[in-house]
Amino acid sequence: MLSKANNDLLTQTGPGTPCGDFLRSYWQPIAAADEMPIGGAPLPLRIMSEDLVLFRNDKDQLGLIGQFCPHRGTDLSYGRVEDGGLRCLYHGWLFDINGKCIDQPAEPKDKKFCHKVRHAAYPVREKGGAIWAYMGKGEPPMIPDFEFLMGPEPNRHTFRVVQTCNWLQGLESSTDPAHTTYLHRRPPGKKSVRSGSDIAALRGTEPPDISIQQTDYGTRIFAIHNSPNGKKYLRVNNYVYPAGATPSTSTGESGYQGRWYVPIDDYTHCRFEFFYRHSEPLNKETLIQNHHENVAADNRHVRRPENRYLQDREELKRNESYGGMGLYFPAQDAFAIETQGAIQDRTREHLGSTDIVIIGVRQALLKAIKKVQEGGEAPWLQRTPADNPFADFICTSGYIEDHEDGPSFCQRVLASKAAAE
Ligand code: FES
Ligand SMILES: [Fe+2]
């Protein structure tokens, strides 16, 4: 349970809010790269309650500027891409990728006042199949070289989905190892299209033993399952500052997923998924097909509150899925978090022993937000290429020795990593 003050602190992300300042200290993914093809239309985006438009100018440079024209407020996302910028349709004012007004064609030559107009603009970069924005103050840090952004293109793929609830509910779903045994249960022998694994065969159907460790990058999360073959199966997941998670999806050593939760406003957010394999290409055709079968053109899941997530009670009774909502994990997660309410009232919840992760991640977040609120620097900002933010980062799943637990397994992996360097 949280106090109302702490629930507000964690969930309010608009300009000037403490959590908003914390999130703005980092680069945030704002769109999938394939949403901004060369020559494509400007894309209106609301990010952390700010209305913006992302566009490529006619030199293929990306810009992110305020959505509404500073002249008299017309929507620039309908504008013309020309002359090095984005031109408003109403009176032709032209803005470059830095938000600078560079033309006011309707004003007489001696009365132009471009230099007096300041329009909102944020730096943008393309990395790892996503477009990222820095909406904070001062010199931007680096976008860390996550494996899931840096691997060869055939080994990774990025999706963006809109979910109708506060960002923290999304993040909490990706860091919570207790729910997978229930919400995502599937019949034995049924492989996941996304991970390619028979999860029940790997993990069994009993609840895992869960523990956490706080680290420099966030929170390390351990879930140990008693596998049907008598061995212990460990999943190491992570909460990563500021809004990331790396749930290991039973793909073992072969790879994992990065996820990132970006507020649109306080009642909706984008979930970014970064699929990644270390050494083999992804089956992109199947992944993309699976995505399009389950996500509509508005970037929301086909299963949504308006159709009661197409729940099929007969499917549930036959145990073909746990909740009668098909076998697509992200739609099951969307059901769980969207029905918690637009902003979950955490003053009314009753946390149990398996919610240790939820408590740990909130503690890490509150500490970081308060540090920024008091004028300190947000944690885990990478300032120079020489910094190695991933020194103690582990994301994996697999069988461990009987005598090992999560922390001792990680200690062994980090020691052998250090010895190899
Ligand atoms: S409102 Fe945009 S140019 Fe006038
Ligand atoms: Fe889930």
Between the CA of 242 and the centroid of ligand 1 the distance, in Å, is: 37
Q: Give me the domain span that covers residue 123.
A: 31-134
Is the model's pLDDT at 277 over the cut of 70? yes
User: What's residue 191's pLDDT?
Assistant: 65
The last residue of a domain, from among 77, 107, 134 = 134
User: What's residue 67's pLDDT?
Assistant: 98
User: What's residue 253's pLDDT?
Assistant: 62
- Ligand 1: does its nearest atom lie under 6 Å from the Cβ of 95? no
Between the CA of 363 and the centroid of ligand 2 the distance, in Å, is: 21
Comparing 46-50, 155-159, 276-280, 367-371, the range with the smallest average pLDDT is 276-280
Average pLDDT over the chain, rounded to an integer: 93
Do residue 192 and residue 297 come from a single domain? yes
Confidence of residue 340 (pLDDT cuts 50, 70, 90): very high
Q: Residue 114: helix, strand or coil by DSSP?
A: helix
Average pLDDT over residues 220-224: 94
Between the CA of 299 and the centroid of ligand 1 the distance, in Å, is: 30
Do residue 98 and residue 231 come from a single domain? no
Distance (Å, whole) CA 342 – CA 202: 35
- Ligand 1: does its nearest atom lie under 6 Å from the Cβ of 80? no
In a domain, 16, yes or no: no
* Number of domains observed in the structure of the chain: 2
Nearest-CA residue for atom 1 of ligand 1: 72
Average pLDDT over residues 278-296: 93
Is the model's pLDDT at 308 over the cut of 90? yes
The last residue of a domain, from among 102, 134, 166 = 134
Average pLDDT over residues 374-387: 94
Comparing 160-169, 323-332, 407-416, the range with the smallest average pLDDT is 407-416
Do residue 166 and residue 312 come from a single domain? yes
Is the model's pLDDT at 197 over the cut of 90? no
- Contact assessment for residue 278 and residue 255, using Cβ atoms and an 8 Å cutoff: yes
Average pLDDT over residues 377-401: 90
In a domain, 247, yes or no: yes
Residue scoring higher pLDDT (334 or 411): 334
Do residue 208 and residue 127 come from a single domain? no
Q: Residue 411: helix, strand or coil by DSSP?
A: helix
Residue scoring higher pLDDT (180 or 202): 180
In a domain, 118, yes or no: yes
CATH number of the CATH domain containing 393: 3.90.380.10
Is the model's pLDDT at 286 over the cut of 60? yes
Between the CA of 328 and the centroid of ligand 2 the distance, in Å, is: 10
Is the model's pLDDT at 211 over the cut of 90? yes
- Contact assessment for residue 183 and residue 327, using Cβ atoms and an 8 Å cutoff: no
In a domain, 51, yes or no: yes
User: What's residue 263's pLDDT?
Assistant: 98
65-121: per-residue pLDDT in tens? Answer: 999 999 999 999 999 999 999 999 999 999 999 999 999 999 999 999 999 998 999
Is the model's pLDDT at 252 over the cut of 60? no
Average pLDDT over residues 41-48: 98
Between the CA of 96 and the centroid of ligand 1 the distance, in Å, is: 15
Give the position of tokens 């969207």: 338
Nearest-CA residue for atom 4 of ligand 1: 91
Do residue 366 and residue 237 come from a single domain? yes
Please report the atom of ligand 1 found closest to the CA of residue 104.
3
| Residue 340 Cα distances to 170, 337, 349, angstroms | 11, 5, 10
- In sequence order, what are the beta bridge partners of 218? 240
In a domain, 12, yes or no: no
In a domain, 20, yes or no: no
Confidence of residue 149 (pLDDT cuts 50, 70, 90): very high
Do residue 119 and residue 40 come from a single domain? yes
Do residue 186 and residue 212 come from a single domain? yes
Distance (Å, whole) CA 121 – CA 133: 10
Is the model's pLDDT at 192 over the cut of 70? no
Confidence of residue 247 (pLDDT cuts 50, 70, 90): confident
Distance (Å, whole) CA 29 – CA 32: 8
Residue (of 338, 331, 261) closest to 294 by Cα position: 331
Residue from 65, 68, 72 whose mutation best tests the ligand 1 pocket (most atoms within 8 A of CB): 72
* Buried b or exposed e, range 82-116, using 16+ CB within 10 angstroms: eebbbbbebeebbbbbebbbebbeeeeeeeeeeee
Between the CA of 175 and the centroid of ligand 2 the distance, in Å, is: 8
Average pLDDT over residues 280-294: 94
Residue from 67, 90, 94 whose mutation best tests the ligand 1 pocket (most atoms within 8 A of CB): 90
